[in-house]
Amino acid sequence: MQESTVARSYASALFELGQKTGEAEAFGRSLIRMAGLIESDRRIRDFLRSPKIEASAKKRVLAAALGSSVSPLFVNFLKVMIDKRRQNIVPQVASEYAVMLDEHMGRLNAQVTLAREPDEREEEDIAARLTDLLGRSVVPHIRVDPNILGGIVVRYGDRVMDGSLRRRLLGLRKSMLAATHPAS
């Protein structure tokens, strides 16, 4: 089974549990925090991935480290992942879970490309305008690409809204070339 399919299955199981217990958002925060720790701290990543460390030791350390800062159900979920030797896919599970939670909460994730880094106010304006335009709460994920020259490119789902200066200039160039060399 592919890693993404397995990650989706784990995310789905945790999401169902979160909905039943009313902890879906808390589980999401805990999962994202755990994934961040695994991705950013090599020692944690190596500890969890090491085949030389027994699963029982990993679970004991994990439970002690997380303590009462997260739900015991969430700790049990991580323990099951360790038992099944799936602790390596926690970041992918977190990503899948975030998509499920956003969908459930009516939020839409959009990849927003700009020519330069926006300030906080511009980011808020982009989120507000996209929310108004699309009729759903939009969570913009900003990416900077100077090649678009100016304007904005928004990708969400399988759709693209290209309001870049580069696209407009290419369109103008195409129109000008068509006018100077009419099709025969």
Q: Per-residue pLDDT tens for 85-108?
A: 999 999 999 999 998 998 898 898
6 versus 67: the higher-pLDDT residue is 6
114, 96: one domain: no
Residue 31 parent element (H or E) = helix 24-40
As a whole number of angstroms, the distance between CA 168 and CA 176 comes to 12
Q: Which domain holds residue 146?
A: 108-180
Domain end, chosen from 71, 103, 135, is at 103
Q: Per-residue pLDDT tens for 107-145?
A: 988 899 998 999 999 999 999 999 999 888 998 989 999
19, 75: one domain: yes
Q: Could you tell me if 111 and 154 are in contact, meaning their C-beta atoms sit under 8 angstroms apart?
A: yes
Q: Per-residue pLDDT tens for 137-167?
A: 998 989 999 988 888 899 987 888 887 777 7
Give the DSSP letter of residue 73: H
| One-letter amino acid for residue 15 of the chain | F
